[in-house]
Amino acid sequence: MTTYRDLVEGCEVVVCCGTGGVGKTTTAAATAMAAAAMGRRAAVVTIDPAKRLADALGISELGNDPTVIDGPWSGTLAALMLDTKATFDDVVRHHATSDEQAETILANRFYKNISTSLSGTQDYMAVEKLAELHSSGDWDLVVVDTPPTRDALAFLEAPKLLTRLLDNTIYKILISPSQGVLRAVNRAAGSVVRQLSRVVGAEVVDDAIEFFQSFQGMEEGFRERADATLTLLGADATAFVLVASPRADTIVEAKYFLDRLGKADLDAAAVIVNRVLPALSVDLSRAQQMAGSHPGGGTQALADHAAAAVGDDDRIADLLSSAPEATVVRVPLLPSDVHDIDTLHHIATLLTD
Ligand SMILES: Nc1ncnc2c1ncn2[C@@H]1O[C@H](COP(=O)(O)OP(=O)(O)O)[C@@H](O)[C@H]1O
Ligand SMILES: [Mg+2]
């Protein structure tokens, strides 16, 4: 059975997934820190980290390059807070056949819209950033935090976001130069465009047409890139780590996540059960007995805690039955949030000891 330590030591990419609030960002940062403690060069891409954690890591500003964090580790630890728009701009510049083409796209209003607000763009750019850092050769391990989403596949499908848009029939019709051959189709497109214009406004449609037209020549590059990033996500040296908490609602979400990962022929290499209530020195029946015979003085709180902890164990067992192959780590609920380097280091130690 591999341990989380093996995973941190051997993997090139770790993707931390799970629903919001369970400790994904914390786990991603702690995983990179653990790798740095092993002497590796580790970078973590965080998404909307808690402000105090971002401050502690020195990444309170959105950034497109990792910031190196000094600390008592023999390797290198670096972090960045994903800037979706700036990353998308970089991707466009990278694939553009000329500066002019890049500038036309970047200035286009339709592009500005999709690069900031299209659902899935954040996932897409997280994967892009991951692929960029991985291929730079500067890092032994790249850890990526994922945007909060119910569906694991959102992340896996994100790289295809733009190519799917480009494959769209309407797009093909809109940019079709051969009016003669496609006259009938164009008539249909013309009516679609007219209807669209009525709903969203002619300007929006013009922007979209201009966007798709200016994209010509870049499709192939985008398609190849999407294939390459999907290959990276499915590679042996890439591990998906599911972060969950023992609370009932997040267990349901976590099981759904595992199910969706399975549908994509991927497994969660590890499941981190975060914020587990610490075990008590008394068991439930004893705690309840004490609460009955000596009410007050905290005995009821003790009984409540013991009861909650029992429920936790059952739910964790239920979750793990959906991921029998996964490495499991339980991280206790700490008395405080994880907002400074020392507490993060503590989590890193708990993960890999
Ligand atoms: N084991 C833990 N004990 C106590 N607090 C934790 C623990 N793990 C995470 N937290 C805190 O819980 C909050 C949510 O964690 P975060 O990593 O931001 O979750 P997510 O990225 O999944 O939304 C943060 O304030 C974090 O400091
Ligand atoms: Mg987060």
Structure tokens at 56: 């502690």
Taking CA atoms only, the protein residue closest to ligand 1 atom 9 is 23
Contact between residue 246 and residue 276 where contact means Cβ atoms under 8 Å apart = yes
Closest by alpha carbon to 44, among 121, 134, 120?
A: 134
Measured CA to CA, the distance from residue 350 to residue 353 in angstroms comes to 6
Q: How many CB atoms lie within 10 A of CB 7?
A: 22
CB distance 340 to ligand 1 below 6 Å: no
What is the chain's pLDDT, residue by residue, as a tens digit (353 residues)? 689 999 999 999 999 999 888 999 999 999 999 999 999 999 999 998 999 999 999 999 888 899 999 999 999 999 999 999 999 999 999 999 999 999 999 999 989 988 887 778 899 999 999 999 999 999 999 999 998 877 777 888 888 877 777 776 666 666 665 544 444 555 556 666 666 667 666 777 778 778 888 888 888 888 899 899 999 999 999 999 999 999 888 899 899 999 988 888 888 999 999 999 877 667 778 777 878 888 877 888 877 777 777 788 889 999 999 998 999 999 999 999 999 999 999 999 999 99
Mutate to test the pocket of ligand 1, among 337, 339, 351 (most ligand atoms within 8 A of CB): 337
CB distance 330 to ligand 1 below 6 Å: no
**In terms of DSSP H, where are the helices of the chain?**
4-10, 24-37, 51-57, 84-95, 99-107, 109-117, 121-136, 152-157, 161-167, 169-175, 183-200, 202-214, 219-234, 248-263, 284-293, 299-320, 341-352
Closest by alpha carbon to 106, among 161, 164, 126, 114?
A: 114
Q: Using the atom order of ligand 1, give the atom closest to the CA of residue 243.
A: 22
Tokens 């993960």 sit on residue: 351
**Residue 181 CA, ligand 2 centroid: distance in Å:** 51
Q: Which domains does the chain have, with CATH numbers?
A: 12-86+118-162+223-352 (3.40.50.300), 94-117+163-222 (no CATH)
**Residue 55 CA, ligand 1 centroid: distance in Å:** 15
Q: Using the atom order of ligand 1, give the atom closest to the CA of residue 334.
A: 3
CB distance 50 to ligand 1 below 6 Å: yes
Q: Which residues surround the ion ligand 2 when the cut-off is CB under 5 Å?
A: 24-25
Q: Say what the pTM is.
A: 0.88
* 119 φ, ψ (degrees, to nearest 5): -65, 135
Mind giving me the DSSP string for 188-207?
A: HHHHHHHHHHHHH-HHHHHH
Find the helix packing angle between 284-293 and 299-320, rounded to 10°: 160
Measured CA to CA, the distance from residue 167 to residue 254 in angstroms comes to 33
Mutate to test the pocket of ligand 1, among 26, 46, 122, 243 (most ligand atoms within 8 A of CB): 26
**Residue 49 CA, ligand 1 centroid: distance in Å:** 10
- Ligand number with the minimum distance to the CA of 51: 1
- The one-letter code for the residue type at 29 is A
12: left (phi > 0), else alpha (psi -120 to 50), else beta?
alpha
Measured CA to CA, the distance from residue 207 to residue 259 in angstroms comes to 39
**Residue 9 CA, ligand 2 centroid: distance in Å:** 23
Structure tokens at 33: 């820190």
Q: Using the atom order of ligand 1, give the atom closest to the CA of residue 338.
A: 27
Q: Using the atom order of ligand 1, give the atom closest to the CA of residue 50.
A: 18
247's CB contacts (< 8 A; 6+ apart) are 315
Taking CA atoms only, the protein residue closest to ligand 1 atom 8 is 23
Measured CA to CA, the distance from residue 257 to residue 251 in angstroms comes to 10
| pLDDT of 189 | 62
Question: Listing from the earlier edge strand, what are the strands of the sheet with 67-69?
Answer: 67-69, 76-81, 41-46, 141-145, 13-17, 238-244, 268-276, 327-332
